[in-house]
Structure 1
Amino acid sequence: MKYLLHGLVLATVCGCTASSRPTGAPGPDTSTTRLAGWQLAWSDEFELPDGSPVDPATWTHELGGDGWGNEELQYYTDGTDNAVIRGGALVMTAKSGASTHSCWYGACRYTSARLVTKGKFEPRYGRIEARIRVPAGKGMWPAFWLLGANMDNVGWPQCGEIDVMENVGHEPHEVYGSLHGDGYSNENGLITGYTVPGAPLSEAYHRYAVEWEAGAIRFYVDDVLYSTRTPADVPPGRAWAFDHPFYILLNVAVGGTWPGDPDEATHFPQTMQVDWVRAYVKS
């Protein structure tokens, strides 16, 4: 993991590789993007020895099985069973089976992981990017996103939420980028879907990014700009909630109000593999 500049702004770039790579071995990033005007400020390359937990100086595990506001089915743990470094990648695994943990619906049927940089890295603006291979199957809900660092004080959605990448498993080619704030949250959020051509997203790594500045947030997949949002998109009388520090999140949810429950065709364990997470500032 590299700390180059703990600055207030960020940026990133992505690429994809063949789906034949084994789990946890992401292969080379073949991106030809030149990040003109951007300077790497922070990154986690997940280059610790195989079997290591994530770096506690960078990430904190959030724990629990209360549904996380979406009637999700998983319990988030802090063990290497659900988040581990393997082959130069972070492997986040959702597992099924009997659990000693209690969820909102009773004994938990799934475990998974949710990682945050809260209190450790909280940028304001920049290009923020990760290279990710998502899981597959109905009921899977992987995400790479940001929450306002003031959430504990003002609550959600007033703190703001930037979803760099969300996918629901029954839509294997679709990426969603969205913004949520007071008066434009949940299904009323500023949501844009993008259909990625080629193989399903679970069969290759892709680069997911936002370029975030005062007055605009742009969403990218593999350097394709598919959405730009500005304060003009916010409902009248509502605030643009994206001009303060945010922290980064990675998680793999199972079930919930959006993806629905897994079905008999969803095989476990399912993994989200993260090659790296990077943040850039304007040069």
Structure 2
Amino acid sequence: MAPAIPGFNFVWVDDFNGATGLPDQKKWNIIQKGPNRKSGEVQTYTASTQNVSLTGSGQLHITPQKDGNGNWTSARLEGVHDFSCPDNGKMILQAELRTGIDPVTEQAGVWPAFWALGGWIRSHNTPWPECGEWDIMENSSGAGFTLASLHYGPDGDPAHEKSQGGQLNSAAEKSMPVEEFNTYSLMVDRTLSRWQDETLTWSLNGKPWFSVKGSDVNDHTFWTNCAHKAFFPIVNVAIGTNFPGSSNNGQPNTQTVTGLGSGMQVLYVAFYKSQ
């Protein structure tokens, strides 16, 4: 169950309660499409309960599967609704989840993520990454890290990207093995008088570890897209990744396991706004 956060109210939440079967499609679009080859992906996203399902006990499972011909399927959920941070207020997008629990040697090419896209990509056809993208949790090939990233501005311009990796076994997060449930969140803070001082802050299990200020982006239009406009949440597990340093060049191999051992278990996803 999504926890209360002092000083904030729930705006939207899914605790994934309900009978076994597909998640609530009034809350989630279940994406059905082929792989994004530009990102190195090989899976097809489906709406099959073999790939995405409620457990009946308050969890969402995203389960990659490989068929007898070596073809991978998986799932991607995109929130139906998007939400924006109020003027002079704060907003948090948060989820508690666990990524694949099988050994790293059996997760080559597995790419789970909890992230969000700016809603104008849907409502105004604003292209990526100008619409804005928050990568709140990204992991590659079962390794013990999460990556925080902010994408914005014109496509193909590496100057318009801010990112930082965080090793979960480092001094700051040494007690947070990737195989356990962890809480990942991003907070938008618009309580300061100048947009240059507004912040996006990533937290792991309640501890802030990365932030980007408006002055870091240094462009009012780009920052407005990143921090003022509405975003919708996404949870997915891709197979195949272009992450630098991924095992097997980011591609699955014969040892990559099919099933929940390379999947994702989600307890909740929630938006909060300051009171």
| Whole-angstrom CA distance in 2 between matches of 1:48 and 1:72 | 31
Does residue 233 of structure 1 match 2:209? no
Matched, 1:252 2:237: yes
Counterparts of 1:280 and 1:236 in 2: how far apart (Å)? 26
Contact 2:150 2:163 in 1 (8 A): yes
The Cα offsets for residues 149-197 of structure 1, whole Å up to 9 and x where unpaired, read as 1114211111010111111125x22111110001586865211111222
SS of match in other structure, 2:215: helix
Shift of 1:199: 5.9
The residue correspondences of 1:185-204 to structure 2 (distance < 5 A) are 189-196=161-168, 197-198=174-175, 200-201=177-178, 203-204=179-180
| Aligned-residue offset at 1:262 | 1.8
Partner residue of 2:138 out of 159, 163, 166: 166
Match of 1:121 among 75, 81, 85: 81
1:183 touches 1:238 (CA, 8 Å); kept in 2? no
Q: Secondary structure at the residue paired with 1:169?
A: coil
**Structure 2: gaps spanning 5 or more residues:** 86-90, 169-173, 191-197
* Counterpart contact for 1:184–1:234, Cα < 8 Å: no
- Which structure's residues are more often helix, by fraction? 2
Deviation (angstroms), 1:235: 5.8
Match of 1:178 in 2: 149
TM-score, normalization by structure 1? 0.78
Deviation of the 1:40 alpha carbon = 1.7
CA contact (8 A) 2:128 2:155 kept: no
| Distance in structure 1 (CA, Å) of the matches to 2:176 and 2:210 | 22
Distance 1:116 1:271, change over 3 A: same
Residues 244 and 236 from structure 1, CA distance in 2 versus in 1: closer, same or farther, beyond 3 angstroms?
A: closer
From 44, 48, 54, the equivalent of 2:14 is 44
Residue 119 of structure 2 is matched in structure 1 by 149
Matched residues, number: 240
Helix, strand or coil at the partner of 1:154: coil
Deviation string, structure 1 residues 118-142 (Cα, Å, up to 9, x no partner): xx32111211100000125221111
Q: 1:68 to 1:230 in 2, by over 3 A?
A: farther
For residues 41-75 of structure 1, the C-alpha deviation after alignment (integer angstroms, 9 at most, x for no partner) is 211001111x2210011001111114263130100
1:62 is matched with 31
Deviation at 1:81, TM superposition (A): 0.8
Over the aligned positions, Cα root-mean-square deviation in angstroms equals 2.3
Counterpart code for 1:178: S
Q: Determine the C-alpha separation between the residues in 1 that align with 2:13 and 2:129.
A: 27
- Larger deviation: 255-264 or 147-156? 255-264
Q: Distance in 2 between matches of 1:249 and 1:161?
A: 11
Q: What 5-or-longer segments of structure 1 have no aligned partner?
A: 2-11, 14-33, 100-107
1:20 maps to which residue? none
Counterpart of 2:64 (choices 72, 94, 118) is: 94
d(CA) in 1 for partners of 2:180 and 2:157?
Answer: 29
- In 2, the alpha carbon distance for the partners of 1:206 and 1:138 equals 21
What is the TM-score with the length of structure 2 in the denominator?
A: 0.80
Stretch of structure 1 that moved more, 134-143 or 258-267: 258-267
